[in-house]
């Protein structure tokens, strides 16, 4: 027994209580990989007790990294690169469980240092997978514009780690080096190459929580940036477990990020614009979708009826422009037209929604899902808040509803927080002696290529 402990799970009791009303039934995967035996979280794989399919499967193709971030939530032992056969098996396992996949993510470690990285991207281009994204610190992107062109040619989406806009805060979270210059070059190269990008900001209380508004403004200002992901700091892994000093009763939670977004954008965003993601547990995600009009951005909850909006985002991490989405937009157009003038900005919203219908659902031909998604991305931006759990905040109910899964070569899908806390350190792929870490900013060398 470890005794009692206390941890803050929500900085706003009203937000927490209200969020529980948004829980929706899950959608189970097509297949399960493990049986119910010892109970959650000991049966992960997924087992039949798990209540949600995988909205975002993640493949960690390497545990080599060219940074050693003080806030890192994983355990980069610099001793493993996924083989081609392992990668192919992992992708097939995802397709077997999910059928159609909106987005599949390649991560690490730092995935871009894998010696077969571009080959893996080509293997991931399958009709069952609409989008492939990568999670990266941006070092290779900042140094190699030709690499950005390779990403653009493969229609890859980049999740760029960008916690702050200034070096002092970046160095606290990411270690030494001129991170500000690297991030600026990475953003410029991605924009120049036309790579669709998400900013990912880990937020630690007292470090960079004053720059939440700056990240929001960057999202609004640059068209190639499609979305923004805030991740309240999780105190687990080789870095995060020792980051601090850390008081589990004095930390950033989802409603704290929402409050800061409202305050630091002078009301451009409101607390009422953000809702839990229905497909996961309400303690895991908050988000808002924003429609890009000619005069600026308008969050969807301000003009789409609540139940219709929740159905649009139910059981998936992103809006999928399928028949259900088309029906919701057409119904919203009809309602706004019939009540024209009663809603602020109704005319500019109507113009944009009609434009979206014409682009994504033209009468002359039916577009493929991937093409509709690509067109729709030019009209919508998204802010996500994803709260990972750590040893202080672990909750079995959240694990059972998890929809962000690490995909294993043996076909298992592991709920993210359960894997990080209970399985990662026992993963047989990582049991070799710890390798020599990459030098900051240097291309992968012999150790990485041959491990």
1 inside domain: no
Count of the separate structural domains present in the chain: 1
Confidence of residue 450 (pLDDT cuts 50, 70, 90): very low
Angstrom distance (rounded) from CA 395 to CA 389:
8
Angstrom distance (rounded) from CA 70 to CA 73:
9
State residue 309's pLDDT score.
Answer: 77
Confidence of residue 318 (pLDDT cuts 50, 70, 90): low
| pTM metric for this prediction | 0.91
* Tens digit of each residue's pLDDT (9 = 90 or more) over 23-58: 777 888 899 999 999 999 999 999 999 999 998 999
154 inside domain: yes
Domain assignment of residue 134, given as a range: 13-309+381-430
State residue 279's pLDDT score.
Answer: 78
114 inside domain: yes
145 inside domain: yes
271 inside domain: yes
Range of weakest confidence among 102-106, 426-430, 447-451? 447-451
Q: CATH number for the domain including 209?
A: 3.20.20.70
Angstrom distance (rounded) from CA 190 to CA 196:
8
* Closest to 229 measured CA to CA, from 173, 302, 285, 301: 285
> Is residue 144 predicted with pLDDT exceeding 70?
yes
> Is residue 316 predicted with pLDDT exceeding 70?
no
388 inside domain: yes
Angstrom distance (rounded) from CA 172 to CA 97:
40
* Tens digit of each residue's pLDDT (9 = 90 or more) over 342-360: 566 788 888 888 888 888 8
Largest CA distance in the chain: 68
346 inside domain: no
Angstrom distance (rounded) from CA 104 to CA 181:
29
């Amino acid at each position: 027994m470890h005794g009692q402990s206390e941890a803050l799970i929500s900085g706003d009791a009203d937000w927490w209580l209200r969020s529980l009303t948004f829980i929706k039934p899950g959608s189970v995967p097509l297949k399960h990989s493990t049986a119910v035996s010892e109970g959650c979280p000991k049966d992960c794989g997924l087992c039949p007790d798990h209540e949600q399919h995988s909205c975002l499967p993640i493949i960690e193709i390497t545990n080599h990294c060219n940074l050693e971030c003080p806030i890192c939530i994983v355990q980069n032992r610099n001793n493993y690169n996924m083989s081609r056969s392992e990668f192919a098996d992992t992708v097939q396992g995802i397709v077997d469980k999910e059928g159609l996949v909106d987005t599949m993510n390649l991560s690490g470690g730092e995935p871009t240092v894998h010696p077969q990285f571009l080959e893996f991207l080509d293997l991931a281009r399958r009709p069952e997978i609409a989008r492939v994204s990568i999670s990266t610190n941006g070092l290779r992107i900042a140094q190699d514009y030709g690499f950005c062109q390779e990403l653009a040619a493969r229609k890859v989406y980049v999740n760029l780690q960008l916690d702050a806009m200034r070096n002092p805060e970046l160095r606290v979270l990411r270690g030494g080096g001129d991170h500000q210059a690297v991030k600026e070059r990475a953003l410029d190269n991605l924009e120049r190459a036309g790579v669709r990008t998400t900013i990912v900001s880990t937020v630690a209380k007292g470090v960079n929580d004053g720059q939440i508004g700056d990240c929001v403004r960057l999202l609004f200002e640059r068209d190639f940036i499609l979305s923004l992901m805030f991740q309240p700091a999780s105190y687990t892994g080789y870095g995060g477990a020792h980051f601090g000093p850390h008081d589990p009763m004095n930390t950033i939670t989802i409603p704290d990020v929402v409050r800061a977004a409202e305050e630091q954008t002078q009301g451009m965003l409101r607390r009422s614009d953000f809702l839990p993601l229905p497909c996961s547990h309400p303690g895991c995600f908050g988000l808002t979708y924003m429609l890009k009009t000619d005069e600026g951005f308008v969050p969807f909850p301000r003009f789409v009826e609540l139940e219709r909006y929740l159905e649009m985002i139910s059981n998936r991490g992103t809006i999928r422009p399928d028949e259900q989405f088309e029906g919701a937009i057409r119904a919203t157009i009809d309602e706004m037209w019939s009540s024209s003038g009663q809603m602020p900005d109704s005319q500019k919203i109507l113009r944009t929604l009609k434009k979206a219908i014409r682009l994504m659902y033209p009468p002359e031909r039916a577009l493929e899902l991937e093409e509709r998604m690509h067109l729709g991305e030019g009209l919508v931006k998204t802010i996500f808040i994803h709260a990972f759990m750590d040893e202080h905040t672990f909750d079995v109910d959240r694990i059972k509803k998890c929809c962000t899964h690490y995909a294993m070569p043996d076909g298992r899908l592991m709920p993210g927080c359960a894997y990080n806390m209970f399985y990662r350190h026992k993963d047989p792929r990582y049991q070799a002696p710890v390798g020599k870490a990459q030098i900051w900013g240097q291309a992968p060398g012999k150790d990485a290529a041959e491990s």
